[in-house]
Structure 1
Amino acid sequence: MKPLDIVQSAQGETMGTFWSVRAVMQAERSLASQVAGIQAVLDLVDGQMSTYKSSSSLSRFNAAPAGTWHVLPAECFEVVKHALQVARDSDGAYDPTVGPLVNLWGFGPDGARREPPSRASIEAARERIGWWRLKLDASTHSLYQPGGVYLDLSSVAKGYSVDLVGRFLDAAGIDAWLVEVGGEMKGKGSKPDGSPWRIGIERPGAASGAVQYADQLSQVVCLTGRAIATSGDYRRQFAAEGVTYSHHIDPRTGRPVPQTVASVSVLAGEAMQADPMGTLMTVLGPEQGMAYAKDRGLAVMFIVHGANGLEEYLSPAFEAALAS
C-alpha cells in the first residue's frame, strides 16, 4: 500500500515577524524534524542582512570607512546584486541605499517618531542616497563602500528568505510546499488531493491575521510554481497634525509616498523578484507603476484609495494569472 501523504505545518519567528511552512509529506515523516533546518536558513539571512544587528554583514558594511572593499557572504551578495539591478532598471525609484531616510522617518532601527523630520535633516540624509555610488566585484563577492552609504535590504531580504527555505525543502526531498515569511509567500507542487496552493489577498483595513470572511479578501490566487509579495500602507505608519506618513519612502524626494496606494500585490517566479517590486510599485504610484508593469509583463495588482473607496487595478499578466 502506498504511504499516505498529508499536509503538515510548522511555524516560528524571524526578522521581527513570523514564518510558516505547509508541506505535503508521508504520514510517517514529520515536518517537525525539519524545523531546526528551516530556522537555520532564516537565521542565516537575518544574520547577514539585518540592520538591527550590529554584527550582521550588512551592518558592518554600513559602518565601514570610505574607500573600502568588503567581501560579502554569497547570499548577501546575491541580494545586493539583485537590489541594485532593480534600482538601475527603475532609475532610482527603488533604491536599497534609502536606509538613512528610512531611519530618519522612524521606520528603522533608530526607533519610531511622532513628527516628521526637518527639511534640513531630510536634505542631509539625501546626500547619502545613491545606488550608483556602489561598486560590485562579482569575482570576489565584494562591495565598495564610497562613504556614508547605508544599505537597507528589508524590501527584498524576506522574499529571498522564502526562496531559500524553498530550496532547503527541495533538498530535504519535500516536493510540495507553501512557505510564508512576513507575508511574502511561495508555493510548489500540489496538495494531496491534487489541488493547487491557493491564497487570498487581504483587503486593506482587515486586522493582521484576522481575515475571517470572504469579503475581506480582494482576490484568490494560485501559488503553485510562483511567489507573491504584498506591500501596504496600513501597517507601518504614523500621523502628525492630521497627516499620515507611510513607511514607503521615495528615495528621489526623501519623503513618504502620498497616501494613494493602499496595497500592491506582485506575482513572480521567485519571491526575491516579487518583494522589491511591491515597494517600487508603491513609490511609482498606480499610473506610472502600471505602465512599468505592462512594459515588462509584470503581474501586479494595485488597490488604491479612490473617490468611492478602495479600487482595484490589475495588469494583464495578473489577470492571466488569476485565470490559470
Structure 2
Amino acid sequence: MACCAVASAATATDVRRFEGETMGTTWSVNAVLPPRADARAIEHGIQGELDRVVAQMSTYEADSDLSRFNRAPAGTWQVLPAEFYGVLRYALSLARASGGAYDPTVGPLVNLWGFGPDRHPHDAPDASAIAAARARVGWAKIQLDDAGHRALQPGGVYVDLSSVAKGFGVDQVARYLSAHGVQGYLVEVGGELRAHGRKPDGTPWHVGIERPGAAAGAVDNVDEVGRIVSLGDKAIATSGDYRHFFESGGRFYSHHIDPRTGYPVAHKVASVSILADDCMHADSLGTTMTVLGPDEGMAYAREHGIAVLFVLYGEHGAFEERMSSAFAKAMR
C-alpha cells in the first residue's frame, strides 16, 4: 500500500534509532533500550522478524510460502506457517465482514492492471480480460483447516496479502521489542506505524499524517503535514492514491482495485488514515475504507467502531476531511 504517515523525529538522546529495508520500502525503529541491551542484536532481531514475513507472505519472492501456495495444484491442501495462516484467516474474515470490498484473492486483478509483481506498461485492460481475472477472484473459494493450519488451493486462486502483511510486519517487530524488554518504541515500515510506551522525557510518540499530494519524503516539512497525532499505544496506517496510479485514454486509474467490480475505485478519496490497536488491522482497514468510499465506508466505520479519517478531493484543488467519531475521540 502507499502509506504516508511518517514519524516525527525523536529528540531524546537515549532513544536509539535503527533503520533498514524490507518489502520494497524502508523500516525504522525508535526505541528506548533497557540497560545493557545489545543494540546490534536488537537490530538483527528486527530485521529477522521482517525477513520472516517476506519469506512467508511476499508475492515478489518466487520461493515464499505464499508464492508456493499460489502455484499449488488445484484441489490440494497446503500446510502454512503459523503466521501466514493467521494473517490469511484474518484477511478472509475481513473479506466476509466487508461483503467482499476487501478480498485477499484480488491478486489476478491487481496484476492485470499492472500493479503487481509482474509490472508492465500501464494500459486499461479490456472487459473480457477483466472478466477472466474476476473469475479467479473470490475469498469464499479458499477453505481453511484450523487444526492442521492448512488452506485449500481450489485452482487458479492467487492470494495477495500486500494490504495486510506490512502491517503484520510492524506488529511482529513490536512483539519482538516487547519480548526483549523494550518498554518504549515507535515502529515504522513504509509509513505504517505502531507505538508503545513513551519517550524518556515522558512525552508520547507523535506522528505526522502526510498531506495528499506531498512529495515523497517531504513530511519532514511542516507544510506537507496534514495533522499531527499523539499515537499512544496505538497503530496508524495511511493509504493514498496520489503516487500509485496511471492515466490511460484521459482517465485516472487508482492502484486500489474493487474486487467486486474488477475496476479501480472511482470515488474522490485522496487518502484514508486508520487508527487501531495493531497495525495489521489498521493496514487492511485502510484498504477496505478506500474501496468502500466515503459514504459506504463511513457507515461501516460507525457500525464497527473504526477510527477513520477520509481526505477527499474537493473543488479547485482543495481537500475535504471527514472523520468518524472514533477518530475524533482519539484526537482529543
Q: Does the alignment reach a TM-score above 0.5?
A: yes
| TM-score using structure 2 length | 0.94
Q: 1:320 aligns with which of 309, 315, 329?
A: 329
- 1:220 and 1:322 in contact (8 A); partners too: no
Q: Secondary structure at the match of 2:182?
A: coil
1:202-281 correspondence runs (5 A)? 202-281=210-289
Q: Write out the 4+ residue segments of structure 1 that deviate beyond 6 Å after TM superposition.
A: none
Which of 300, 303, 320 in structure 2 is aligned with 1:311? 320
| Residues in 1 aligned to 2:65 and 2:36: alpha-carbon distance in whole angstroms | 40
Tell me the equivalent position of 1:69. Answer: 77
* Higher mean C-alpha deviation, range 218-227 or range 14-23: 218-227
Residues 157 and 299 of structure 1: CA distance in aligned 2, closer, same or farther (over 3 Å)? same
> Which of 153, 160, 178 is matched with 2:161 structurally?
153
Task: Return the alpha-carbon distance in structure 2 between the equivalents of residues 202 and 193 of structure 1.
Answer: 26
Cα distance, 1:244 vs. partner? 1.6
Taking only aligned residues, the RMSD between alpha carbons, in angstroms, comes to: 1.4
Q: Compute the displacement of 1:40 (Å).
A: 0.8
- Conserved in 1, the CA contact under 8 Å of 2:195 and 2:231? yes
- Mapped to 2, the partners of 1:298 and 1:215 lie a distance apart of 28
1:201-220 CA distances to partner (integer Å, 9 max, x unpaired)?
Answer: 00111111112433321211
Find out whether 1:283 has 2:288 as its counterpart: no
The letter for the 2-side match of 1:214 is V
Aligned residue type for 1:105: W
User: What CA distance in whole angstroms lies between the structure 1 residues aligned with 2:220 and 2:90?
Assistant: 36
| Structure 2, gaps ≥5 residues long | 1-11
CA contact (8 A) 1:5 1:26 kept: no
Are 2:209 and 2:228, in contact at CA under 8 Å, matched by a contact in 1?
Answer: yes
The CA deviation string for residues 65-107 of structure 1, in whole angstroms up to 9 with x for no partner, is 1111000000100100110010000010100000000000000
For 2:287 and 2:132, how far apart are their aligned partners in 1? 23
Deviation at 1:241, TM superposition (A): 2.3
Which fold has the larger relative contact order, with Cα–Cα distance below 8 Å and residues 6 or more apart in sequence? 2
Aligned to 2:94: 86
* Total equivalences in the alignment: 320
**1:114 alignment partner in structure 2:** 122
Structure 2 residue corresponding to 1:23, chosen from 22, 27, 31: 31
Contact 1:187–1:223 (CA<8 Å) still a contact in 2? yes
Contact residue 228 and residue 271 of structure 1 kept, 8 A: yes
Matched-pair identity in %: 57
Matched to 2:183, the amino acid is D
